[in-house]
């Protein structure tokens, strides 16, 4: 009996190592230290779907979409009842379609749609999955399963999750249909419904900038600054608005430099996105 107890005790650190390492890796992931998180996870992937899913997120954020898809596929194999795994697998397939060989892009685009649809079917309260499926339907051509009518059919699900997001999505649909006045009103309504969300105000500012109404759009930037002047996303979106309008480009560059020095999290625009915008602000491609 004592021998059995000693053997069990010797195995305990190995059995506990996985969850502990996943927690450590998640801490690094939340700080956008994706390479460090992936390194922590590599030895403990084993048969833990949560570890594979987190490793997939790390690779996704690092831009290795094939490796990300491989990890999410493994997570789905190990736990086929987790809607989030299907959602992220759809995201990885989608990015493979965007960034890979054009000849196989339709294959991965269709797989992305299937995974998004599966995720929404499993958990319609997963707002991000519903939004990603909406965006797929909005942007993809009909032969890949997209379509504005399909996008419109999802609006009720979006509204059930977040009324402000419903108006934002309705604005996107209106823009696709060239109904710009309607789009503007919906964006403003989204901002009214979520008065503490600076992103809603900046959505209006960017829309107005795209339509040659930069000065009017600046009033929404000022409102956002009053709400949360230290929010890193404000730096990014303000710079993006300047670049859209081709105004204040040196200021936009400084804002993006500040953003890149900020403490970010995975919900914010990535450093790669900020660096791309910074090149535009400085006159690059």
Q: How many CA atoms lie within 13 A of 92 on its CB side?
A: 28
Does residue 6 register a pLDDT over 90? no
Asked whether residue 285 carries a pLDDT value surpassing 70, the answer given is: no
pLDDT score, position 2: 38
Instruction: Please report the DSSP string for 138-204 in residue order.
Output: HHS-GGGT--HHHHHHTHHHHHHH-HHHHHHHHHHHHHHTT-HHHHHHHHHHHHHH-TT-HHHHHHH
- Residue ranges of domains in the chain, CATH in brackets: 202-285 (1.25.40)
Task: Give the pair of three-digit tokens for residue 152.
Answer: 């419109």
- Residues 190-234 have pLDDT tens digits of 999 999 999 999 999 999 999 999 999 999 999 999 999 999 999
Q: At 171, is the pLDDT very low, low, confident or very high (cuts 50, 70, 90)?
A: very high
């Amino acid at each position: 009996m004592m021998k059995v107890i000693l053997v069990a005790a010797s195995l305990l650190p190995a059995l506990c190592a996985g969850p502990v390492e996943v927690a450590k890796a998640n801490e690094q992931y939340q700080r956008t230290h994706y390479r460090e998180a992936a390194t922590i996870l590599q030895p403990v992937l084993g048969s833990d779907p949560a570890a594979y899913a987190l490793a997939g997120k790390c690779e996704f954020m690092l831009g290795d979409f094939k490796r990300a898809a491989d990890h999410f596929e493994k997570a789905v194999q190990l736990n086929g009842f987790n809607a989030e795994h299907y959602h992220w697998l759809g995201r990885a397939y989608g990015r493979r379609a965007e960034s890979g060989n054009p000849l196989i892009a339709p294959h991965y685009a269709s797989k992305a749609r299937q995974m998004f649809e599966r995720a929404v079917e499993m958990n319609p309260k997963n707002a991000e999955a519903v939004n990603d499926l909406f965006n797929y339907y909005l942007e993809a051509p009909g032969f890949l399963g997209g379509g504005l009518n399909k996008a419109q059919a999802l609006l009720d699900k979006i509204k059930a999750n977040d009324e402000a997001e419903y108006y934002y999505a309705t604005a996107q649909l209106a823009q696709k249909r060239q109904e710009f006045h309607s789009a503007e009103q919906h964006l403003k309504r989204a901002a009214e419904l979520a008065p503490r969300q600076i992103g809603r105000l900046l959505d209006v500012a960017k829309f107005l900038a795209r339509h040659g109404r930069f000065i009017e759009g600046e009033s929404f930037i000022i409102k956002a600054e009053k709400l949360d002047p230290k929010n890193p996303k404000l730096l990014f979106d303000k710079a993006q608005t300047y670049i859209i309008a081709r105004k204040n480009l040196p200021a936009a560059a400084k804002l993006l430099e500040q953003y890149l020095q900020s403490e970010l999290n995975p919900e914010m625009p990535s450093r790669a996105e900020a660096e791309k915008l910074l090149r535009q602000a400085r006159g690059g491609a």
